[in-house]
Chains A and B, each alone.
Chain A
Amino acid sequence: MKLTCLSQGNGYYCPPTHILQLCGFRLLLECPIDLSSLAVFSPIPSAGAANLDASSGLLRALPWLKTVPGLHLWDPSLIDAVLVSSPSAMLGLPFLTRNAKFCGKIYATEVVARIGQLLMEDLLSMHAEFLQFYGADVKPASPEWMKWVELEKLSPVLKQVVLGEDGEELGAWMPLYSAADIKECMQKIQPLKYGEETCFNGSIIMKAYSSGLDIGSCNWTINSPKISITYLSSSLFMPACWKGFDYHSLLGNDLVLFSDLSSLSSTASTCAETREIRNNNMIVENDPSLCSASALSKDEIPHQLFGTDETSDEIEKISFICSCIIDSLEGGGSVLIPISRLGTVLLLLEQISESLESFNLKVPIFMISPTAEETLAFVNTVPEWLSKQRQQKLFSGEALFNHVELKKVNRLHVFPSIYSSELLMMWQEPCIIFSPHWSLRLGPVVPLLRRWHADPKSLLILEQGVNVEVALLPFRPVAIKVLQSSFLSGIMMHKVEPLLEILHPKLVLYPEDLRIQYPLKENSSWSYLYYSENVQLRVPSFVEDVKACLETNLAFQLRPRRLTQQNIAIARLKGRIFLSKGKYFLAASRIPMEFSNKQLLYWGSIEPTCLLLALQDRGLVGTIHWNKDAANGVYTIQITNPEKAVIETSATMTTISCEDENTATLIYEALGTVCDGI
């Protein structure tokens, strides 16, 4: 087994990507795009305000997307399967599937596949505005902005986004896929339920289990006949309203591939740069003192992982955001929430509407995106993927989320586009707007930010991990308040080791960079191997024997023979072997096998008198002649009746010489009864 980490990713929207070589197959783990790369492009200039973009230093061209660096170096025909753990992890899939050479299978949970599809469609339809503005690329293979002269003009920060740290990532850029590409991609996905067993090529069994990161997000168990693997992506132990981390189903596998690098990106994100606009920027920090007892069911997650209470932290965070929102609204400012994490959006929506209720504020909430309507309708039909508390709503006949009710009473309005006439008729400020973030370059956020960027009363809510300075480049001067909040997007570092203790693997594949940042304790019960980007890691195999099933029909054919000295019986086995659902089976052959009674392999030595007796039993008369020159057990048996024959025996070898075939067979038979063999 080998692991190559293609990318450590970049926060929630761009999870780490690996290639896992197992049983001769190559599995691609995740296929995201680097959404932050969109930020190097300038939004479509608004009529009459063209100068706004001129100063930003951004590329004015049809945006391309940056895929996982290094992935394009792999021949798509060599990728046998792709595992996708979250909706954002599939945004890069159409780039792979539109390649005619790709013929692998793609696995994702039903919900991830559906939400991912909606995200792709959303991206595509927003990108269409650019297409309309710029027209298609004149030179589709190498657009103008990719030329060195153009790239040299970029600021160092933007240049690094385009070229990567080593300046080698230009090849990762791709023109956006089409609707047909998305459709083709979706057809290649095999949607799964949590805990559904799927078998790749009869030999690798894969199952997805809830990771708690978002609705439908998952971790995987990957079992081959030789090794069982837990592939651990970013996980949340106790999310607010969807299924939490299912650790129980991951127990006892040989190996854990630890791929939750959320701690890495949350600290590595450029704090220093965000401080620049600190005067109008509030950062919500994780305050460990906030942890308090929770009323939520603790039985699902063992005590060790419970520790500081993430759930109450998150609730605390969200209520802080709500209070900021209320402040802004009361001050007459609008609130823009460009967040694409579905679970977080739903949670915010519920909390905000409750806050508005309690403050008796009659402010409209808009949700604007081409796929918002479908997304909201969809999440109300997935009770199986939600937390136990939320499922209770199904069983008592209530809608799963309160947006159903909010829409009914006209508190929430959902529109596909900001330019819809109904929206214009209903428009009212202050208001709250949810819309996808797309690095603040595509879609409704652009005109809305142009409207509010200089309004100090308004509020923009961003997630941590976004480079605020770059994100707001086209919207300067910035006077709008920016609230950057770090929603939990993975396992907190101090819970990693307790978790591993519970999972109890033999070996952990762990990111080198994370180890440098957070040293691990020495551990005797499992060992670590450390992986880094683009370095192939060989994982030694540590299973000696392979489990198999001996079918009854074959077992009945066995003729066991007890050995003289030990407590062992042995039997020759001849049948067919096949692999089914990751398990070896041995069964009787379809065509009856000829089973020769003759033994073919002998060991030990032969007692001459025993052999003589055995020969006599078969009517062969002979005498023993000790060989004079060799003292150590070399002797000859001369058979005289009924046919002539000679048997020469030493400690390690016996030779039978006899012209008559029947007699030879008899001698051989007699030999078999006095010598261990098979």
Chain B
Amino acid sequence: MGIECLVLGAGQEVGKSCVVVSMGGKRIMFDCGMHMGYLDNRRFPDFSLISKTGDFDSALTCVVITHFHLDHVGALPYFTEVCGYHGPIYMTYPTKALAPLMLEDYRKVMVDRRGEEEQFTYDHIMECLKKVTPLDLKQTVQVDKDLEIRAYYAGHVLGAAMIYAKVGESTIVYTGDYNMTPDRHLGAAHIDRLQLDLLITESTYATTIRDSKYAREREFLRAIHKCVAGGGKVLIPTFALGRAQELCILLDDYWERMNLKVPIYFSAGLTIQANMYYKMLIGWTSQKIKETSSVRNTFDFKHVCPFDRSLINAPGPCVLFATPGMISGGFSLEVFKQWAPSELNLVTLPGYCVAGTIGHKLMSGKPTRIDLDKDTYVDVRCQIHQLSFSPHTDSKGIMDLVEYLSPKHVILVHGEKPKMAMLKERIQSELGIQCYYPANNEKLLISTTQNVKIDVTKKFIRSCSSAMLSNVKNSLLSISDSGSKDNEIIKLAREDTTAEGILLMEKTKTAKLIHGNELLHTLGVKEHQVRFAFCCPVEVTRMEPLSDEANTTLCHVNSIMKVYVPRCLVTEDRLTTANNTLLDILLSELETRTECKNIQIASDSLQLHTFHVRVCSTEHCSYRKKENGVGESVVYFCCSWSPCDDRLRCLCVVLELFKIRNEY
């Protein structure tokens, strides 16, 4: 049994996330993203590795998309409409609602601006999304009889989810992108403490540790305020969804507080329309926004209005949100070309830009000139502000999550190779968890251990809880109905109890755990008792009394008792020759000399656990040691005990050492 993990994308890189996990005969594709940095066939995952024949429907059980970012959903319409996957697809409600906007925006940029041959059409997007089954958080969804999946809140962007999947006893979580700290509009990632064989986590910021978010937000607002106060224009290239809404909440709120009148624009109707979705999906935002939105919805921005192309060169300051992010083309590039040459203006960039985009070029060093292609270039004199807050978790967050979930194995994806290597080392050394970071198209096999399903008899369960009851006193009972027979459940749920029983394994049946007392009945057999026996001689003589405690010696110590044996043993009682009296004497001697307080006296014997002593009345007891010259004042005590109490064998030795003073 094992989990096979095929990394088709985001292996030692960021972009085209796609991991195919096989377990228990099921095969799940997590994310189906595209790489923004490539224009050739490297932009999509190599689907041929899933199925040589292209029969994806039988090769995959389902596809699950974590969030609407293109590096996670960008290749989905291509996969379903062009490659022909028709099986089930799952994503959260917001992702299903918002992914088409992202895909269509990107498609337009590619086709309209770059004049490229399109990989999929608008209809493809719509057809593809129609097949999607929406997921709600925490809901357990039965994909088929054996596979269940569940989405957990991941922060990051609206509707982002971590996905838990379970087949039989094998369990994994694929995190997608996540954020362990809340931002302006989203809460922090939240997941149950699950028992996991494997955790596949993003590692964008594998080595970064971030400080307070508020300081970084202030820095951003100050930069923008300074720019517009100086009459400059601010370009905020973003994707239509996610960052745009977060920054908008931030700015709208700041404008309100500072009473600013400078216009904030949204390019095209796209992002305005996106806000409509955000309003309906407010249940997926942070607790704070949910609470404040019962009166006025946070996504009804007061200071934001749509942008018209004619305003590009209009005089006066403004703030403009333009798509796409990272200035990878489209309208944001068009505006960038116009505004970049002026030192009054400001361009903000996200914390992470994919290699190959203009955003990436602007961030690497301080270029004064950007070549667009071999003929055109842009002079860059404007200021560049890099947003240092990111919707991704930092390394502390990753470590926290890994420690919290404590899976048996960790796979890192969605990061940069050298940083992943460092994080892997930390996870292995600090948390002692096996960690890997496979490259694209690498296959990893993770072995898992399987728990065995067994049946347990009710009697066994009851015996466990009564064992516990004797340990823990009665305190636990008070809250429950003492008349109920089901109390054991209350107790077993609270703490671990020692369980002791017998496991019965029959060829074709489920193994069954029974209580020891049930075994003979279950097998239909009769017990065969086995006992040890020994007949000990004890000398009965007349002796002088000795009261000196110092005269005793510690003769025998083991786990259950200490035995003190007197050099001379005396009893003061008036004695008779009756056997029972002898037992009485023996009892009191044993008690005073052995620290054993729970010796029972039965009709004709003394009993300690299974150890029985009685006065031997058989003349030639077969268990009797051949006596060598013992006087006539010897009384035989016949001892017998069960093998489980063999440690009580020493009592025979003790008895032989006794010399009982007896008066005839």
Chain A positions near chain B (C-beta within 8 angstroms):
21-26, 78, 110, 192-197, 201-203, 207, 224-226, 373-374, 377-378, 380-384, 391, 394-395, 397, 399-400, 544-552, 555, 558, 560, 563, 566-579, 584-586, 589, 598-606, 636, 644, 646, 648, 651-659, 661, 664-665, 668, 671, 675-678
CA distance A658 to B531 in the complex (A): 11
**Interchain CB contact under 8 A, A195 and B141:** yes
Which residues of A are found within 8 Å of B140, using beta-carbon distances? 195-197, 207
**Chain A nearest CB, measured from B280 CB (Å):** 6
CA distance A305 to B512 in the complex (A): 40
Interface positions, chain B 562-579, Cβ under 8 Å from A, are none
Which residues of B are found within 8 Å of A567, using beta-carbon distances? 506-507
Q: Report the count of interface residues on B (CB-CB < 8 A).
A: 88
Judge whether B210 is part of the interface by a CB distance below 8 angstroms.
no
**Chain A nearest CB, measured from B489 CB (Å):** 4
Show 13 A/B contacts (Cβ-Cβ < 8 Å), sorted by A.
Answer: A196-B139, A202-B494, A381-B280, A381-B282, A546-B456, A550-B513, A570-B503, A573-B500, A573-B503, A601-B520, A653-B529, A655-B533, A656-B533
Interface positions, chain B 532-574, Cβ under 8 Å from A, are 532-535
Judge whether B260 is part of the interface by a CB distance below 8 angstroms.
no
Which A residue's beta carbon lies closest to that of B137? A193
Which residues of A are found within 8 Å of B461, using beta-carbon distances? 546, 577, 584
Interface code B514-542, partner A: CB below 8 Å = 1, 0 otherwise?
A: 00100110010111111111110000000
Give the 6 A-B CB pairs with smallest separation, nearest first.
A202-B493, A657-B623, A577-B499, A195-B139, A545-B455, A603-B525
Q: Which of B481, B487, B498 contacts A589 (CB 8 A)?
A: B498
Which residues of A are found within 8 Å of B528, using beta-carbon distances? 602-606, 651-654, 675, 677
**Interchain CB contact under 8 A, A383 and B490:** no
CA distance A600 to B457 in the complex (A): 21
Q: Which of B295, B454, B499 contacts A575 (CB 8 A)?
A: B499
**Interchain CB contact under 8 A, A586 and B498:** no
**Interchain CB contact under 8 A, B622 and A604:** no
Which A residue's beta carbon lies closest to that of B520? A603
Q: A194-B136, A196-B138 are in contact. Are A668 and B643 (CB under 8 A)?
A: yes
**Chain A nearest CB, measured from B590 CB (Å):** 20
**Interchain CB contact under 8 A, A579 and B492:** yes
**Interchain CB contact under 8 A, A549 and B136:** no
Judge whether B450 is part of the interface by a CB distance below 8 angstroms.
yes
Which residues of A are found within 8 Å of B495, using beta-carbon distances? 578
Q: A395-B97, A570-B504 are in contact. Are A664 and B139 (CB under 8 A)?
A: no
**Interchain CB contact under 8 A, A545 and B456:** yes
**Interchain CB contact under 8 A, A395 and B96:** yes
Q: Which of B282, B297, B481, B520 contacts A24 (CB 8 A)?
A: B481
Judge whether B644 is part of the interface by a CB distance below 8 angstroms.
yes
Which residues of A are found within 8 Å of B431, using beta-carbon distances? none
Q: A194-B136, A203-B490, A574-B498 are in contact. Are A656 and B531 (CB under 8 A)?
A: yes
CA distance A654 to B140 in the complex (A): 58
Which residues of B are found within 8 Å of A203, using beta-carbon distances? 489-490, 492-493
Which residues of A are found within 8 Å of B649, using beta-carbon distances? 661, 664
**Interchain CB contact under 8 A, A551 and B532:** no
Instruction: Please give 19 more A-B residue pairs, beta carbons under 8 A apart, in addition to A26-B481, A225-B489.
Output: A25-B490, A377-B295, A394-B93, A550-B453, A552-B449, A552-B451, A563-B523, A568-B506, A570-B519, A573-B503, A576-B499, A579-B492, A586-B456, A599-B643, A602-B527, A655-B623, A655-B640, A664-B649, A668-B532
CA distance A552 to B461 in the complex (A): 20
Judge whether B475 is part of the interface by a CB distance below 8 angstroms.
no
**Interchain CB contact under 8 A, B277 and A397:** yes
Judge whether B276 is part of the interface by a CB distance below 8 angstroms.
yes
Which B residue's beta carbon lies closest to that of A80? B479
CA distance A566 to B529 in the complex (A): 21
**Interchain CB contact under 8 A, A603 and B526:** yes
Judge whether B383 is part of the interface by a CB distance below 8 angstroms.
no
CA distance A603 to B489 in the complex (A): 33
Q: A197-B140, A659-B534, A661-B649 are in contact. Are A571 and B503 (CB under 8 A)?
A: yes
CA distance A143 to B533 in the complex (A): 82
Interface code B446-466, partner A: CB below 8 Å = 1, 0 otherwise?
A: 000111111111100100100
Q: A196-B138, A384-B136, A573-B500 are in contact. Are A601 and B516 (CB under 8 A)?
A: yes
Chain B positions near chain A (C-beta within 8 angstroms):
93, 96-97, 100, 129, 134, 136-141, 169, 273, 276-277, 279-283, 293-295, 297, 449-458, 461, 464, 480-481, 484, 486-487, 489-490, 492-507, 511-513, 516, 519-520, 523, 525-535, 622-623, 625-626, 640, 642-644, 646, 649
Q: A391-B134, A545-B458 are in contact. Are A400 and B525 (CB under 8 A)?
A: no
**Interchain CB contact under 8 A, B525 and A678:** no
CA distance A470 to B505 in the complex (A): 69
Q: Which of B138, B456, B506 contacts A584 (CB 8 A)?
A: B456
Q: A382-B283, A552-B450, A598-B643 are in contact. Are A646 and B456 (CB under 8 A)?
A: no
Which residues of A are found within 8 Å of B527, using beta-carbon distances? 601-603, 652
Q: A380-B280, A555-B452, A578-B497 are in contact. Are A573 and B502 (CB under 8 A)?
A: yes
Which residues of B are found within 8 Å of A661, using beta-carbon distances? 649
Which A residue's beta carbon lies closest to that of B622? A646
CA distance A568 to B450 in the complex (A): 22
**Interchain CB contact under 8 A, B512 and A545:** yes
Which residues of B are found within 8 Å of A546, using beta-carbon distances? 455-458, 461
Q: A194-B139, A397-B273, A661-B649 are in contact. Are A574 and B499 (CB under 8 A)?
A: yes
By DSSP majority rule, is chain A's interface helix, strand, loop, or mixed? mixed
Which residues of A are found within 8 Å of B512, using beta-carbon distances? 545
**Chain B nearest CB, measured from A510 CB (Å):** 23
Which A residue's beta carbon lies closest to that of B532? A656
**Chain B nearest CB, measured from A600 CB (Å):** 5
CA distance A572 to B494 in the complex (A): 25
**Interchain CB contact under 8 A, B530 and A656:** yes
**Chain B nearest CB, measured from A322 CB (Å):** 27
Quick one: which of B97, B492, B644 has the most chain A CB within 10 A? B492
CA distance A644 to B624 in the complex (A): 11
**Interchain CB contact under 8 A, B139 and A24:** no
Which B residue's beta carbon lies closest to that of A575? B499
**Chain B nearest CB, measured from A257 CB (Å):** 17
CA distance A634 to B295 in the complex (A): 93
Which A residue's beta carbon lies closest to that of B487? A24
**Interchain CB contact under 8 A, A384 and B464:** no
Q: A572-B502, A675-B528 are in contact. Are A383 and B497 (CB under 8 A)?
A: no
Q: A552-B449, A560-B505 are in contact. Are A602 and B511 (CB under 8 A)?
A: no
Q: Which of A197, A544, A636 contacts B458 (CB 8 A)?
A: A544
**Chain A nearest CB, measured from B475 CB (Å):** 15
Q: Which of B276, B297, B499, B531 contacts A654 (CB 8 A)?
A: B531
Quick one: which of B100, B169, B489, B534 has the most chain A CB within 10 A? B489
Which residues of A are found within 8 Å of B520, using beta-carbon distances? 601, 603
Q: Which of A197, A224, A605, A657 contacts B622 (CB 8 A)?
A: A657
Which residues of B are found within 8 Å of A377, using beta-carbon distances? 293-295, 297
Which residues of A are found within 8 Å of B529, using beta-carbon distances? 602, 652-654
Which A residue's beta carbon lies closest to that of B457? A545
**Interchain CB contact under 8 A, B622 and A654:** no
Which residues of A are found within 8 Å of B516, using beta-carbon distances? 601
Quick one: which of A380, A395, A549, A571 has the most chain B CB within 10 A? A395
Q: Which of B456, B496, B507, B530 contacts A578 (CB 8 A)?
A: B496
CA distance A551 to B497 in the complex (A): 15
CA distance A347 to B144 in the complex (A): 35
Which residues of A are found within 8 Å of B487, using beta-carbon distances? 24
Which residues of A are found within 8 Å of B646, using beta-carbon distances? 598, 664-665
CA distance A21 to B293 in the complex (A): 40
**Chain B nearest CB, measured from A54 CB (Å):** 42
**Interchain CB contact under 8 A, B533 and A549:** no
Q: Which of A573, A606, A664 contacts B501 (CB 8 A)?
A: A573
CA distance A654 to B506 in the complex (A): 29
Which residues of A are found within 8 Å of B93, using beta-carbon distances? 383-384, 391, 394
**Chain B nearest CB, measured from A559 CB (Å):** 10
